[in-house]
C-alpha cells in the first residue's frame, strides 16, 4: 500500500469515527490535489479555486448523509476527483461558463529563481500557457483522462474506477486526447 493510499485509509477511518471533528483533515490532506486537478481541467486559477471550494462543500453535505461504514470504505481522493469532474461537467453545460480563460499568473512563480535566465523563464511560461490552452480546448471526455494519467500520474485502472468506464476505453481516450493535444500544439505553433 502506497503512502497516498495509507493517507486515504486514515482519512476515511477518521471520518467514520467523527465527521465534524475530522473533516478538516480531509480538506488539508487533499486541498492541493483537488485544486491542481481542477486547474488542469479548467485552465483558470479563480475558477479552479471556486471549484475546489464547491467540491469540499459538496463533499461535506454528502458525507453527512453517509453512515460510518460507508465513510470508512470511501476512497477519498478518487471520490473528490469525481466530484470535481462532475462540477466541471456541470459548468461546461452552462453557456455562460463555456469558454476557458488562461490564468496570466500561472507561470509567475517560474521567475522566482534569480539564477534562471529571463529568456528561459519566458520560454517556459509561454510553453506552459500554450499547453494549458491546448488542454483547455480538448473535449472534457479526453481532458479528464489525460490530466489524471499524465499530470496526476494515476494508473489506467484507477482512472477507470474514478470515471466509471472500462480501462480499455480510458486507454483509448488518453491516446486520442494526446493525439488531439499534439495536433492543437502544432496548430498553435504555426
> Is 156 within a domain?
yes
- 32 and 79, same structural domain? yes
C-alpha cell at 134: 491546448
Confirm if 63 and 76 have CB atoms less than 8 A apart: no
- 8 and 90, same structural domain? yes
Lowest average pLDDT, out of 64-68, 102-106, 143-147, 182-186, goes to 102-106
Give the helix, strand, coil percentages of the chain, each rounded to 5: 80, 0, 20
Q: Which residue, of 71, 97, 123, is where some domain finishes? A: 97
The mean pLDDT of 67-84, rounded to a whole number, is 92
CA atoms of 66 and 71, how far apart (whole Å): 6
Contacts for 63-70 with beta carbons within 8 Å, 24 or more apart? 63/15, 63/19, 63/23, 64/19, 68/16, 68/17, 69/16
C-alpha cell at 175: 491516446
> Is 106 within a domain?
no
- 36 and 2, same structural domain? yes
- 92 and 1, same structural domain? yes
Task: Please state the φ and ψ torsions of residue 67, each to the nearest 5 degrees.
Answer: -80, 170
- 139 and 82, same structural domain? no
CA atoms of 134 and 6, how far apart (whole Å): 35
Residue 116 pLDDT grade (very low, low, confident, very high; cuts 50, 70, 90): low
Q: Which residue, of 42, 62, 97, is where some domain finishes? A: 97
**Residue-level pLDDT at 123:** 67
- 134 and 63, same structural domain? no
**Of the candidates 85, 58, 178, which has an alpha carbon nearest to the alpha carbon of residue 140?**
85
The mean pLDDT of 154-166, rounded to a whole number, is 87
- 16 and 93, same structural domain? yes
**Residue-level pLDDT at 106:** 42
C-alpha cell at 131: 499547453
CATH of the domain at 133: 1.10.10.10
- Classified as helix, coil or strand, 67 is coil
The model carries a pTM of 0.67
Q: Could you give the percent of the chain with pLDDT greater than 70?
A: 82
Confirm if 43 and 136 have CB atoms less than 8 A apart: yes
Please tell me the total count of domains within the chain.
2
- 120 and 91, same structural domain? no
Tell me the residue range of the domain where 29 lies. Answer: 1-97
CA atoms of 183 and 111, how far apart (whole Å): 29
C-alpha cell at 10: 486514515
**Residue-level pLDDT at 156:** 92
> Is 58 within a domain?
yes
**Of the candidates 103, 113, 139, which has an alpha carbon nearest to the alpha carbon of residue 147?**
139
Amino acid at each position: 500500500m502506497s503512502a497516498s493510499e495509507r493517507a486515504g485509509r486514515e482519512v476515511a477511518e477518521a471520518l467514520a469515527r467523527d465527521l465534524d471533528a475530522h473533516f478538516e483533515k480531509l480538506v488539508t490532506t487533499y486541498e492541493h490535489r483537488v485544486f491542481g486537478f481542477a486547474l488542469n481541467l479548467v485552465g483558470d486559477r479563480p475558477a479552479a479555486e471556486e471549484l475546489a471550494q464547491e467540491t469540499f462543500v459538496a463533499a461535506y453535505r454528502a458525507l453527512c448523509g453517509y453512515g460510518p461504514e460507508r465513510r470508512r470504505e470511501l476512497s477519498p481522493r478518487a471520490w473528490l476527483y469525481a466530484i470535481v469532474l462532475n462540477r466541471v461537467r456541470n459548468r461546461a453545460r452552462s453557456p455562460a461558463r463555456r469558454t476557458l480563460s488562461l490564468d496570466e499568473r500561472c507561470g509567475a512563480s517560474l521567475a522566482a529563481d534569480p539564477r534562471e535566465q529571463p529568456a528561459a523563464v519566458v520560454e517556459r511560461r509561454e510553453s506552459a500557457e500554450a499547453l494549458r490552452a491546448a488542454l483547455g480546448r480538448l473535449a472534457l471526455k479526453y481532458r479528464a483522462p489525460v490530466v489524471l494519467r499524465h499530470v496526476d500520474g494515476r494508473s489506467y485502472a484507477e482512472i477507470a474506477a474514478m470515471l466509471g468506464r472500462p480501462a480499455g476505453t480510458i486507454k483509448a481516450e488518453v491516446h486520442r486526447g494526446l493525439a488531439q493535444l499534439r495536433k492543437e500544439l502544432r496548430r498553435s505553433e504555426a
